[in-house]
C-alpha cells in the first residue's frame, strides 16, 4: 500500500512518498532534499557564491562555539543538541561545546544565555518552554523576545496522547466519549508541566468539552510509571519516551497532536483528523543568540546549522527519535515565535490557568 502525504507542522512543510515498508526511508530522503534546497538558498542569499563554511570562518574566525542546552543531559532535547553540534563541528572544523544548564523549566539556562556576550559564539537551544514560560511567570530574569535574536527552528516532533490499558478505550473518539460519560473522574499528566504538552491537553479539554484533572510530575519517567499502573489515565508525551511502552503493549497510543500524521508514525491518527481540527501542537527545537549579535553572525550560524541538518545520516539519527527536520530562516523563526506566544497566551486566558 502506498505511504504518502504532505504535512504542515506549525507552518513548516514535509512531504514523503513510499510504501509501508520503506515509509521512513522515503521520508528521510524527501526531507533531506528539502533541507539541501533550503541550505543552498540560505547560503546564496547570505553570501552570494561563498559556502557557509568559508564565510562562517571569516566572520567568527574559527572561534569555539558554546551551545547552551537548558535541560539535563541524557534526554531527547540534549540528544538532539549533541547530534547536531557534532555535525556542525565536523563541517566547520571548530569546537562546538554543549553546555547543560537545566532547572526551573529551562529558565536557568535561558537566563545564562541572555547575559552572554553578543559575539556570535554563544547559542541557546530553545523549545516550547521558551514561549510558554513568560505566560506563567511574570518575573522572569529575561525577556524572551527582546533579549534574544532568532536563528532558526531546527526540527519538530508531535506530542502523543497515550492511555493506560486499564482504560477501556483505543481511539481518541472512544476516549472523549468515555470522559464525557465520567465527568471529573479522569486525571492526566504531561511531559512538560506548564509547557506545550500540558497546553495541548488543555486545548483538547476545551475543544472536546471534557473535564480532566492535571497531575504534575518531575519528568516523564515517574509519570509513565504511574500511567502504566493506572494511577493517572492519560498522558501527553513525546513519542521517543512513550513508543517503547506502546510497542511493548503497556500503553495505548490514541492520537498525535500535530495537524498531520508523522512520517515516522503513519498508523497513529491525529486529533485534528479525529474531530478536533484546531489542535496542532508540536514539540520543536530551535536556536537563538543574545540580542545585538551581529546580523552577519546570525546569518552564518543559520547557514552552518542548516548545512548540518541536510546530512542524511544525521537525519536518520533524528528520525529514530521521531524528529522531522524543519529548518527556517531567522525572519521565519521570529514570526513563528511571535505566533506561538500569542496562541498560548490566548489559550491560557481561555482555560483560566494559574499565572504566577
The pair phi, psi for residue 267, each rounded to 5°, is -90, -5
The verdict on 267 and 306 lying in the same domain is no
Answering whether pTM is above 0.75, one says: yes
Bridge partners (DSSP) listed for residue 13: 8
Inside any domain, residue 351: no
Rounded Cα distance between 101 and 81, Å, is 13
Inside any domain, residue 220: yes
The verdict on 258 and 273 lying in the same domain is yes
Inside any domain, residue 192: yes
315 contacts 322 by C-beta, under 8 angstroms:
no
Count of domains for the chain: 2
The verdict on 130 and 25 lying in the same domain is yes
The verdict on 53 and 184 lying in the same domain is no
Residue-wise pLDDT tens for the chain (356 aa)? 445 443 434 444 343 434 344 555 555 555 455 444 444 444 434 333 335 544 444 566 578 999 999 998 988 899 999 999 999 999 999 999 999 999 988 999 999 999 999 999 999 999 999 999 999 998 999 999 999 999 999 999 999 999 999 999 999 999 999 999 999 899 999 987 788 999 999 999 999 999 999 999 888 889 999 999 999 999 999 999 999 999 999 999 999 999 999 999 999 999 999 999 999 999 999 999 999 999 999 999 999 999 999 999 999 999 999 999 999 999 999 999 999 999 999 999 998 887 66
Inside any domain, residue 353: no
Rounded Cα distance between 303 and 36, Å, is 11
Task: Domain of residue 61: give its range.
Answer: 2-157+282-346
Amino acid at each position: 500500500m502506498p505511504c504518502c502525504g504532505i504535512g504542515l507542522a506549525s507552518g513548516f512543510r514535509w512531504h514523503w512518498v513510499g510504501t509501508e515498508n520503506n515509509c521512513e526511508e522515503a521520508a528521510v530522503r524527501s526531507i533531506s532534499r528539502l533541507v539541501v534546497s533550503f541550505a543552498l538558498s540560505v547560503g546564496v542569499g547570505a553570501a552570494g557564491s561563498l559556502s557557509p563554511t568559508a564565510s562562517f570562518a571569516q566572520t567568527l574566525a574559527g572561534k569555539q562555539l558554546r551551545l547552551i542546552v537548558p535541560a539535563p543531559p541524557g534526554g531527547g532535547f540534549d540528544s538532539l543538541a549533541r547530534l547536531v553540534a557534532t555535525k556542525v563541528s565536523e563541517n566547520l572544523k571548530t569546537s562546538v561545546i554543549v553546555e547543560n544548564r537545566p532547572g526551573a523549566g529551562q529558565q536557568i539556562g535561558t537566563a545564562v544565555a541572555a547575559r552572554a556576550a553578543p559575539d556570535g559564539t554563544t547559542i541557546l537551544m530553545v523549545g516550547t518552554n521558551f514561549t510558554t514560560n513568560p505566560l506563567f511567570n511574570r518575573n522572569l530574569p529575561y525577556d524572551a523576545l527582546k533579549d534574544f535574536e532568532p536563528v532558526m527552528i531546527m526540527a519538530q516532533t508531535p506530542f502523543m496522547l497515550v492511555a493506560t490499558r486499564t482504560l477501556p478505550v483505543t481511539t481518541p473518539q472512544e476516549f472523549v466519549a468515555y470522559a464525557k460519560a465520567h465527568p471529573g473522574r479522569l486525571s492526566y499528566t504531561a511531559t512538560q508541566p506548564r509547557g506545550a504538552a500540558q497546553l495541548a491537553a488543555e486545548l483538547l479539554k476545551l475543544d472536546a468539552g471534557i473535564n480532566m484533572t492535571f497531575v504534575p510530575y518531575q519528568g516523564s519517567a515517574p509519570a509513565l510509571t504511574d500511567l502504566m499502573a493506572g494511577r493517572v489515565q492519560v498522558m501527553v508525551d513525546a513519542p521517543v519516551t512513550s513508543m517503547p511502552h506502546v510497542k511493548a503493549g503497556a500503553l495505548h497510543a490514541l492520537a498525535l497532536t500535530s495537524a498531520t500524521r508523522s512520517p515516522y508514525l503513519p498508523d497513529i491518527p491525529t486529533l485534528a483528523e479525529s474531530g478536533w481540527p484546531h489542535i496542532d501542537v508540536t514539540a520543536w527545537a530551535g536556536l537563538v543568540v543574545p540580542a545585538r549579535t551581529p546580523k552577519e553572525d546570525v546569518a552564518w550560524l543559520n547557514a552552518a546549522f542548516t548545512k548540518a541538518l541536510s546530512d542524511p545520516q544525521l537525519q536518520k539519527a533524528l528520525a529514530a527519535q521521531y524528529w522531522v527536520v524543519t529548518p527556517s530562516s531567522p525572519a521565519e523563526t521570529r514570526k513563528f515565535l511571535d505566533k506561538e506566544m500569542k496562541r498560548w497566551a490566548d489559550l491560557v486566558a481561555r482555560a483560566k490557568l494559574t499565572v504566577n
